[in-house]
Structure 1
Amino acid sequence: MAKIKAGVLGATGNVGQRFIEMLSEHPWFELTSLAASDRSAGKKYGEAASWRLESKIPEEVSDMTVVPVDPKKVDADIVFSALPTDLAKTVEPEFAKAGFAVASNASALRMVKDIPLVIPEVNPEHLGLIDVQQDNRKWDGYVVTNPNCTTIMMTVTLKPLMKFGIEKIYLASMQAISGAGYDGVASMAILDNVIPYIDKEEEKVETETKKLLGEFNGSEIVDAPFAVSASCNRVMVMDGHTEAVWVEMADNPSTEDIKQAFLEFDPGLSDLPTEPAPVIEVKEEKDRPQPRMDRNLGGGMTVSVGRIRPGIRYICMGHNTIRGAAGASVLNAELLKKMGKL
């Protein structure tokens, strides 16, 4: 099978590097373009990027020449966007207009009415918005987004609970510093500290969750009717967002009902290369999940849950730059290929 040509926009940054790590030996995609800012364009990637991941930079990637973030300069059929929000807002539509499929991790377009916000295990039917988007905008390409990293972990666990009639959700997050990027949190601010505020994070969780769990009626997404209340905190952990979740449900399920719903959750996507098995792993230990011990389960794509208590209350945890960022976009792209959209 011929591989699909793939490019990365914002290739030198933290999430861009995760994209490269996940795509360098992908069975369906071939990295053909790495795009970054003008200060990096024209350089070999190994010279332009300060590689920060534990894995070694792929040799063939190190020798690739970085190109400008310009549809005319990028040789690809699909581009994975790790662009900053302000840049993504204008650049991603330019690529879609030029005929590219855009799988975006940026927040700029997530809540735009005709742009899908997708987690494959949660709302694959929302990809029907692609046709609406192309009709509305007269684009040959399209943009598909994945949610905020905090939203992803919680919403994956909420999907199997929808059958119990969710009425209200409360979340308190303990978010890793890698979520802010390499230069995002000063060491003297986070060492020996918890920062009880992350700019715009709570708003993202509260709005994105309702769109993800809403209904596609053929022309638009009707948001889920329940309320979401979030309190987001930055903690001194490198990778892995931990979240305490409280869910009020009309059917008043027992803790055993909730546990079984998690254990039985099977979205039927095992043919996608990046899909983990299981999607949700239930931890029986009273002090799990923990980021250091559980963030790399399923190649960093599994969401762990534990401490399921009456209320209903539980803890969920996942790798924020893999499941919560680059891996989410890659999984979206795999689903697009499966659906014949690439």
Structure 2
Amino acid sequence: MTVAVGILGATGAVGQRLVQLLAPHPEFEIRALTASEASAGRSYGDASKWRIESPIPDAVAEMTVTETTPEAVPDDLDLLFSSLPSDIGREVEPAFCEAGYVVSSNSSNARTADDVPLTVPEVNADHIDLIERQRDERGWDGALVKNPNCSTITMVPPLAALDDAFGLDRVTVATLQAVSGAGYDGVTSMEIIDNAIPHIGGEENKMETESRKLLGEFDGASVSWHDTRVEASCNRIPTLDGHLENVWVETTADATVEEAAEAMESYPSLELYSSPDQLVHVFEDPERPQPRLDRTLEGGMAVAAGGLRSTDGGLQFNCLAHNTLRGAAGASLLNGELLAEKGYI
């Protein structure tokens, strides 16, 4: 079965990654691309200012961009992927859901809403069934599903593995985040070259809240957030892609380095088309993972971990993921594949 899809906000950094991932997809077919009013009516090749390392797909380049409204896109689309800025997504995404569209969104709005699934499919696929409550309460024929922030996605799979094996009491994380996480126009070269910026607006709160919702328990009607304490400090550094994070955890049960590594490496992936064969790869080399060397592990869809050592009461480790692939476009794509597998589209 071919799933007809559209991309809301298709010309931006994440929108272009979605095009890159969706164009060769064996089950999904791009039928619509939307952007701002200024881009509407132009060919995607002209409007997008393509900046991905692989060539723009010819068929997509020739497609005409439409405005981002339910009236402007075909009504026979099965699924929409949204990479809209959160202030626009907050207004536009509910309108699409009310019009009957199912939306898999990377935008930060509504991620912690009680009736909106926030999912990393390998970690909490069952949360997708919050859609039933969402439709009942909002009267939507469509649905809205979110993936978390790109820095949250990087640390949650290793944390989920440790939580399942040993329990989590406290998490502290310091991030070193790539400039692509701010979008093409987010950080100027004068700001970031020979520099590091020790603040990313709103990022700490996203990591501290979204991780607890992702690790929470779903009872069929609501999610009870995990009661672990999460504290984050987020920093922008001059790497292009790949968020590297230093994580300290206090575990409920004692865990050796060897046991922690085994828990991470054996944490199961899924059999969705875009899932990595192994979700978390653990390096023994203390100098790994590194953004330049390890961000494209398993096509950029796996998480790399390393630097595991014991601390007083827990463990310390480093983790890395490609922030626009695993952390954004790829995360939305996995949620779309999960929606299809679960019969919501």
Q: TM-score range by the shorter chain?
A: over 0.9
Counterparts of 1:203 and 1:90, CA distance in 2: 22
* Matched residue type, 1:62: A
2:147 matched residue in structure 1: 146
* Matched residue type, 2:94: P
Residue ranges of structure 1 left out of the alignment (5+ in a row): none
Counterparts of 1:202 and 1:262, CA distance in 2: 24
TM-score between the two structures when normalised by the length of structure 1: 0.98
| Number of residue pairs matched by the alignment | 339
- Give how far 1:225 is off: 0.7
Counterparts of 1:122 and 1:243, CA distance in 2: 19
Aligned equivalent of 2:333, options 330, 339, 342:
330
2:344 matched residue in structure 1: 341
Q: Secondary structure at the match of 1:55?
A: coil
Aligned equivalent of 2:213, options 207, 211, 214:
211
Aligned equivalent of 1:319, options 313, 322, 336:
322
TM-score between the two structures when normalised by the length of structure 2: 0.97
- Give how far 1:218 is off: 2.0
1:68 has 2:70 as partner: no
Further displaced range: 217-226 or 312-321: 217-226
* Matched residue type, 1:281: H
Matched-pair contact (CA < 8 Å) for 2:265–2:279: no
- Give how far 1:322 is off: 0.4
Percent same amino acid among aligned pairs?
Answer: 49
Further displaced range: 157-166 or 142-151: 157-166
2:247 matched residue in structure 1: 245
1:227 matched residue in structure 2: 229
1:261 matched residue in structure 2: 263
Q: Secondary structure at the match of 1:313?
A: strand
1:47 matched residue in structure 2: 46
After superposition, the C-alpha distances for 1:42-90 in whole angstroms (9 at most, x for unaligned) are 0011111110110100000000000110112212211100000100001
Matched-pair contact (CA < 8 Å) for 2:44–2:65: yes
Counterparts of 1:262 and 1:225, CA distance in 2: 21
* Matched residue type, 1:208: E
1:274 matched residue in structure 2: 274
Counterparts of 2:242 and 2:108, CA distance in 1: 19
Counterparts of 1:198 and 1:121, CA distance in 2: 27
Q: Secondary structure at the match of 1:42?
A: coil
- Give how far 1:284 is off: 1.7
- Give how far 1:112 is off: 1.1
1:103 matched residue in structure 2: 104
Counterparts of 1:253 and 1:16, CA distance in 2: 41
- Give how far 1:118 is off: 0.3
- Give how far 1:134 is off: 0.2
Counterparts of 2:309 and 2:62, CA distance in 1: 52
Counterparts of 1:14 and 1:264, CA distance in 2: 33
Q: Secondary structure at the match of 2:235?
A: strand
Counterparts of 2:112 and 2:227, CA distance in 1: 16
2:188 matched residue in structure 1: 186
